[in-house]
Chain A
């Protein structure tokens, strides 16, 4: 028994010594499983996407035709509706990002710098709690708030402000997206603000700068990487979403995701859906390059 255990231990020591001497072997062992997953599932899906974008569909029977054609991309460029949809998607994603940044900076500053420790941890939990409930439930809740007979109009009516008609519109979409993705902006900005040494702000004050000036010239430049990191989430999540537009959008609220969804699930035109899906991939690629310039990846 004892000699057996000893032999096992000796074997273990030999293996770890072998691994210690060969760093490449360690890397292979650690990375092969996630690496295979990355190549097989993620890259293979992307490759298939690009390939099928070059196919077409027989219009009547709906069968795939495996001949190379650029007609899907031609349609994308030629038909003004798709341009409108692409620009609307990018516009909404940008608006949501700016809104979330504007909301997140003062909140995160208060939570990280001003609030006492207990309040700060309460705020942290409060930011995270919505993520525990289903995305769908939260969007449906907004639908009830913004509907014609909804909570918003009811409250406005009670305080004598009449009613607003923003249910099922791009405004509704903007509000709901901004709400849904807000935590993804707050957390990186919070982390960025916490990382700024308090002495910097004190030095700024000692040199006579008031609050706004300190924010503009000292704090803001230092938290730009955090904002950029948060904006990657808010921007890319909005760019690919189709559920919120379906549920709270109105006439003319289709985003790229809706067209992709309709072409895959409804119209059965997978090649065209793939072609349109390439647009957010390109936009996101450019966005990531820009974000890298702003130092977003140092803040992750």
Chain B
């Protein structure tokens, strides 16, 4: 017994490393395919990367029955994971329900292809802001079909958190030490930046996704100070639901999905959009550049864009449909839901939400001194690690 043989093995590794290094190299080519002009027969299968709750049997089953496309959904916990899955999954996935902080990365990385909105008749009934929004439409080319949108809310336990919170300060001020949860996601920095833009105007934050180094550091410091209050940074929506159910946390940042699931379980929770406003998401079904089942994909976007399915998904998840005709169906499923989920809200409501987008070097003002997404990721690791 000894290490002599292992020493030889190590020597072999070094030699192989040198040999391997000289043999490495690859090239990336982006292909621009012709847009389809009609939707053909389904290919029998459809593989989705989706947010938890986006492929519920309620609307997947009838889709499968009418098109013959069997749906396989892989749930992703974060936008970063979605990008990684689309990048590494190759032709394994056909579509992804990307949020605004992922969609531009997918487009620039060549992971998704242009789509023909003419093949989605309901697209004309979408709210105008989400027909060709900048997060999925580049130079007039549509890289996906908008799906649903909504705010990131403040979720709290109504038995322990009294009075009802009206400000995000409740998750930063240390009052609920060790009982707070926020998403384990670098884009959470934008929530801190939004809060700082209202509470510390001297920092000069105008857009929570366009932060200079000093502004990013300020947001990072706020989040570091918040860490003792955090019980757990949640990764999956189901984690947060369990934390609230077990009483491990009493307040935190959430999606409406957690709220509606907890309410269905009769948990004493409430959600609110605090006075500082909220960040939010606008999701898009995007078609992979390597999609093997494009016809099933077009059938899928047509199906989920139809007013009835839009209404079903909106109520199931607790979000706002993009199709303006969905309201009638929402009222049929659940009286008053159209108003609750802001499906008929004026444009001012839409404008009050700061929608997720990928932080890039280019600030909106023509300067290039903003911190890009990798800097955000680094900062987030510093906060949570």
Contact = CB atoms under 8 A, between A and B. Distances in A.
A156 B40 CA distance: 65
Interface stretch (A20-28, A104-112, A143-151): A143-151
B234 to A, nearest CB: 10
Contact of B110 (A61, A167, A251, A268): A61
B329 interface: no
A278 B21 CA distance: 18
B382 interface: yes
Contacts of B83: 62, 268
Nearest to A298: B1
Tell me which of A48, A60, A250, A259 has the highest count of chain B C-beta atoms within 10 A of its own C-beta: A60
Interface stretch (B12-20, B53-61, B288-296, B300-308): B12-20
A47 B12 CA distance: 10
Given A47-B20, A246-B235, A298-B1, A81 B381 contact: yes
Nearest to A50: B17
A66 interface: yes
Contact of A43 (B12, B21, B373, B384): B12
B231 interface: yes
21 contacts: A43-B9, A43-B13, A47-B17, A50-B17, A59-B372, A62-B105, A81-B382, A85-B385, A149-B247, A165-B178, A168-B232, A250-B231, A251-B230, A251-B232, A252-B385, A266-B77, A268-B83, A268-B88, A269-B377, A289-B3, A292-B2
B230 A51 contact: no
Nearest to B250: A148
Nearest to A61: B109
A84 B384 CA distance: 11
Interface string A35-50: 0000100011011101
Interface stretch (B22-30, B273-281, B312-320, B348-356): B22-30
Interface in A136-159: 147-150
Given A250-B231, A251-B230, A267-B377, A148 B385 contact: no
Contacts of B21: 51
Contacts, number: 113
Nearest to A83: B385
Interface string A261-274: 00011111100000
B108 A60 contact: yes
B368 interface: no
B374 A59 contact: yes
Interface residues of B, number: 49
Nearest to B373: A59
Interface in A79-93: 79-82, 84-85
A254 interface: yes
B170 interface: no
Given A251-B384, A252-B385, A266-B80, A79 B378 contact: yes
A259 B377 CA distance: 11
Interface residues of A, number: 46
B17 A148 contact: no
Contacts of B230: 250-251
Contacts of B235: 246
B87 interface: yes
A130 B13 CA distance: 37
A147 B13 contact: no
A214 to B, nearest CB: 29
A148 B230 CA distance: 14
A297 interface: yes
A66 B378 contact: no
B138 interface: no
A254 B235 CA distance: 13
A47 to B, nearest CB: 5
A252 B383 CA distance: 9
Contact of A266 (B3, B78, B105, B231): B78
B72 to A, nearest CB: 19
A63 interface: yes
B78 A60 contact: no
Contacts of A249: 232
A264 B77 CA distance: 14
Given A168-B231, A266-B84, A63 B109 contact: yes
A79 B358 contact: no
A46 B149 CA distance: 44
Contacts of A254: 384-385
B104 to A, nearest CB: 8
A148 B87 contact: no
Contacts of A252: 227, 384-385
Given A149-B246, A250-B231, A268-B80, A60 B360 contact: yes
Interface in B204-232: 227-228, 230-232
B75 interface: no
Interface string B85-122: 00110000000000000000100111000000000000
B237 to A, nearest CB: 15
B248 A147 contact: yes
Given A62-B87, A84-B385, A297-B1, A266 B246 contact: no
A91 to B, nearest CB: 14
Given A267-B377, A268-B80, 20 more contacts: A43-B12, A43-B13, A44-B16, A46-B13, A50-B13, A60-B373, A66-B26, A79-B378, A81-B385, A85-B385, A148-B247, A168-B248, A252-B227, A252-B384, A265-B81, A266-B81, A267-B84, A268-B84, A268-B87, A292-B3
A149 B178 CA distance: 15
Interface in A51-65: 51, 59-64
A285 to B, nearest CB: 9
Given A251-B384, A252-B384, A62 B109 contact: yes
